[in-house]
Amino acid sequence: MEWVILSLTSAFFLATSDALVKKALKGQNEYLVAWFRMLFTLPVLVITLLLVPWPKLDADFYRAFFIALPFELITIILYIKALKRSPLSLTMPFLALTPVFLIAVSFVVLGEKVSFMGGIGIFFIAAGSYLLNIDGLRKGLLEPFRMIWKERGSLFMIGVALLYSITSSMGKMAIEHSSPLFFAATYFIALNIAFVPIALYMGRGDLKTFLEEKQYKMLIVPGLCYALMVVTHMSAMKLTKVAYMISIKRTSLLMAVLYGYFLFREENVRSRFFGAALMFVGFVLVVTAR
């Protein structure tokens, strides 16, 4: 079950990076924060690219690579906008939709079929991660859906969830026509380069202060964690069906709740126990699925 360990490791590094970024975001330009976290992935990615064998690339690799890249840029922008415009309790639950979307998208793109039990496990993980992020259920289970038309950030996050299912499927295709570490390095180096003009334009008013006050230092560790997330993510993707891998990686939402409690003293941790239990059941079903 190497893919399970790699998926959980990827989830851990993602949750850790996001928690540290949340601390860094206070009072900062969100585009600069996103950009510098990406920049600090470069040492790990460049070293990886120099050390791994370069595979022979075909048309399918380039097709998947260049289809995924613009979608990935859009997800970064939508994610940032969602966090800025709407409360986390009304936006984060919708990330649970990615593994559900992947059941259909990975079948269309890759021809991957999940088993019945695997599909049930994915829905359990999605339901559990949805419940984890509802603010104490005080306003009802469907409150995030009721607020979709009032909270534009919710629509943005639904778009993120859908686009992630596309980029994950295209990433799996690119990995199958290259190698996990080669794709991880080249793809995210290209993403870094493509994001530069966006960050410079959107952060133009704050960049001087950001650099002079060395605020970027808070993003060194989050960037390194993000790089390790990328490497373990791509390595796990090679070993199993993409819907299974992403559903296990969504345990990062559970880890984020724990970080929220221990680092930010967030409340309603006990009320999220049922969501955590559902995720655990789903985890067992996916891991044992054939």
Cβ pair 289, 244 in contact under 8 A = yes
Nearest to 180 by CA among 230, 228, 225, 227: 230
pTM of the full predicted structure?
0.87
Give the distance between the most distant pair of CA atoms in the chain: 55
Q: pLDDT tens for residues 218-253?
A: 999 999 999 999 999 999 999 999 999 998 988 887
**DSSP track, 106-153:** HHHHH-----HHHHHHHHHHHHHHHHHTSSTTTT-TTHHHHTTTT-HH
Q: pLDDT tens for residues 19-58?
A: 888 777 777 888 998 899 999 999 999 999 999 999 999 9
- State both tokens at 82: 């969602």
Q: pLDDT tens for residues 136-192?
A: 455 666 666 666 667 677 788 889 999 999 999 999 999 999 999 999 999 999 999
Q: Residue 81 and residue 30: Cα distance in Å, rounded?
A: 9
Q: What is the pLDDT of residue 126?
A: 82
